[in-house]
Amino acid sequence: MTVLDQVTYQVIHGGLRALAQEMKVSVMRTAYSPIVASGGDMSAGIADAQGRVVAQGQDIPAQLGALPSSFETMLAERHGTLRPGDVLIGNDPYECGSNHINDVCLIMPVFADDAGDELLGYVCTRTHWMDIGGATPGSFNARVPDMYAEGLRIPTLVAYRDYEPVPDIWELIFANVRGRTEREWDLRAGFAGCATAERGLKRIAQRYGADAVRAAMSKAIGDSEKLVRDRIAAVPDGIYRAADWFEGDGWSDDPIRLEVAVEITGSEISIDWTGTGPQVKGGVNLPYSSTRGVGIYALKAALAPDVAPNAGLWAPLRVTAPEGSFVNPLPPAANQASAAETIQRCADLLMACLVPAVPDQVMAGTFASATVLLMEGKDPIEWRRQMLGRDRAVFMDNSPGGMGGRIAGDGVSGIKVHTGNARVPSLESVEFAMPVRALRWERVSDTGGAGRTRGGCGVAREWEVLEDNVNFTLMAERAQVPAVGVLGGRAGRTARYIINGGTSQERLLPSKTAPIRLDAGDHYLVQSAGGGGYGLPQDRDPQRVLADVLDGYVTEEAAASDYGVVITRGEVDVDATVARRRSMPAGTTLDRGESLYGDINASVTPVDE
């Protein structure tokens, strides 16, 4: 094995990480779908010749967490069979380690030589396709009976041979999805990212030598493993438990139990989901690839945020989940929407679970949802309808929400959190793509939980429908179960999803719906949940509470009731504030707020058991 000096190693390792970022730029610049081209809903990674991840972009954690599963399953019987210019394609969560079928994975081998005799490693892009077939335009609907209704499942196939598309595979795929032109160019965009990485990796090998590249890859994995083991060893040994409830499967609004135990033993960490409910009918079951992936996310976020993410980072981690459970379903369990919602709630639960272990390194509960509003209607632009050969279009709007407070500061308002960080579409891009008009896009006061550092506020996006026959499908969370407050902090406010609010036709929606047809003049409000507070509200500096009131995060009424801060004529009334704060309760380790499920929280395992 080649021994590298530290400077050469850092240059090669930094080059690999930069190359993963360059892959993303290539994909976004060539994709047709707005969710990729402007939203950045894609990810990229590089693996060594054994298929171990060595570098990845700063992309979508839900997708990145599934990278090791995709490399393992898609390459399992392909090592040694691929030649230069071959590209594998797959999207099946059960067979290809994908997080859900809309995210299509491409894997390409990279050789140091043109003859294909010296394998350097593999490169991968995972790109969200706006439609992958199935019963619902956009392929996003929890109310399906099984995985066959969700869309086209692609097992591991060869999509490119010698840098050219395989015609039969392409025809089979595109005959089963809506918007062929857009989907075809999204596939080509994924290939462009792989080709970019191939050129870059070969360029690095030509400059420093193939052996040096392999040595740098191996050292990067070893360094990350050593660093993360040191972090784990610094956490007190023990078993930390938590439980919560997920809001229905699309067919029923009945709660689904989530339960997890995190065990720290020396420099090893295990995550066990025993106690979680059985798999359900609707499309929110979380495939094991994602259950493993959210464990990787939690490990990095809580214990190793500055450690380079590669196979070494998750080497000390073991994730177990009962077969046939909500977080390790068996085929043909539907699972499409879990990559947006279930995985987020699992990430939030893992943070709550770790509060007693590393209270300074986790945040309070978040809105924990992609809050997807899928729209389908007539494309309002005639020239685009003609160019793309279709009359109707699909657009995925998504709303951010409130981040939880943490020791370092307040939770951010209107932000993507945890395993989903795609960009929020601009109002103009939605109006350009669909026959709708934006009415509201604003932060909502008092939705963030009170605390020494407060939770971020939820936001409201409201749309007016401009033409008849526009279909809306909602996929969200937190309408029933609020984000938890920790260490004395208060829970955040729940979300609200309303059609034609304030009228005689007002309709309050659950967090998941089948497609709903709306016509011209109808309104659709998506108001996301707020994050939980961190620490006692009465410990927050009264001047900071006053600033929150002036900035619209908190109302004067909430300042008095939640923080004990009395504001009179724009100033803090010091004496009244001191008196009010003396009577405020001490708070609890975990505040679950008022669930709209009633007394369900009484049966939730306390986080500090």
Confidence of residue 34 (pLDDT cuts 50, 70, 90): confident
Smallest CA-to-CA distance from 157 within 92, 80, 68, 65 is with 92
The number of residues making up the chain comes to: 609
User: Which of 247, 150, 245 is CA-nearest to residue 475?
Assistant: 247
Count of beta carbons in the 10 Å neighbourhood of residue 601: 19
Inter-residue contact 177 to 132 (CB < 8 Å): yes
For residue 450, how many other CB atoms are within 10 A of its CB? 33
Q: What was the pLDDT predicted at 601?
A: 56
| 404 neighbors 453 (Cβ within 8 angstroms) | no
Q: What is the three-class DSSP state of 240?
A: strand
Average pLDDT over residues 26-37: 92
pLDDT tens for 505-540 read 999 999 999 999 999 999 999 999 999 999 999 999
Q: What's residue 356's pLDDT?
A: 95
Read off the pLDDT of each residue in 222-233 and give the average, rounded to a whole number.
98
CB 470 within 8 Å of CB 519? yes
By three-state DSSP, how is residue 382 classified?
Answer: helix
Residue 191's contacts (CB-CB under 8 Å, 6 or more residues apart) are 87, 106, 108, 125, 159, 160
The span from the CA of 399 to the CA of 458, in Å, is: 9
Which pTM value belongs to this model?
Answer: 0.94
Query: Would you say residue 603 has pLDDT above 70?
Result: no
Paired tokens of 518: 């709306």
**594 band by pLDDT with thresholds 50, 70 and 90:** confident
User: Residue 421 to residues 339, 417, 480, 512: CA-CA distances in angstroms?
Assistant: 12, 6, 23, 21
Q: What is the DSSP letter of 575?
A: H
Distance, in Å, from the CA atom of 52 to the CA atom of 450, rounded to the nearest integer, reads 43
Contact 374, 138 (CB under 8 A): yes
CA dihedral 72, 78, 80, 82 (to 10 degrees): -120
**Confidence tier at 587 by pLDDT (50, 70, 90):** confident
Max CA-CA distance within the chain? Answer: 81
What is the rounded CA–CA span in Å between residue 116 and residue 505?
A: 65
Q: Do 173 and 154 meet the contact criterion of CB atoms below 8 Å apart?
A: yes
pLDDT over threshold 80, residue 606: no
Amino acid identity of 400? P
* Confidence label for 116 from pLDDT (cuts 50, 70 and 90): confident
Cβ-contact 459, 443 below 8 angstroms: yes
Beta bridge partners of 262: 240, 271
Confidence (pLDDT) at 598: 67
pLDDT band at 599 (very low <50, low <70, confident <90, very high): low
| CA angle 298–304–308, rounded 5-degree value | 110
Q: Could you tell me the sign of the dihedral formed by the alpha carbons of 248, 250, 253, 254, in that order?
A: negative
Measure the CA–CA gap between 564 and 552, rounded to whole angstroms: 17
Unique residue bearing structure tokens 């015609």: 167
pLDDT on residue 608? 42
Q: How far is CA 354 from CA 126, 227, 243, 341, 347, in A?
A: 30, 19, 12, 21, 11
3-state secondary structure of 390: coil
Mean per-residue pLDDT over the chain, rounded? 94
Per-residue pLDDT reduced to its tens digit, 209-226: 999 999 999 999 999 999
For 196-226, give one letter per residue: b (16+ CB within 10 A) or e: bbbebbbebbeebebebbbbbbbbbbebbbe
Q: Quick one: pLDDT band at residue 111, thresholds 50, 70, 90?
A: very high
pLDDT, residue 51, reads 97
Q: Which residues make Cβ contacts (< 8 Å) with residue 555, sequence separation at least 6?
A: 445, 446, 549
Task: Assess whether pLDDT exceeds 70 at residue 609.
Answer: no
C-alpha span between 423 and 396 (Å, rounded): 11
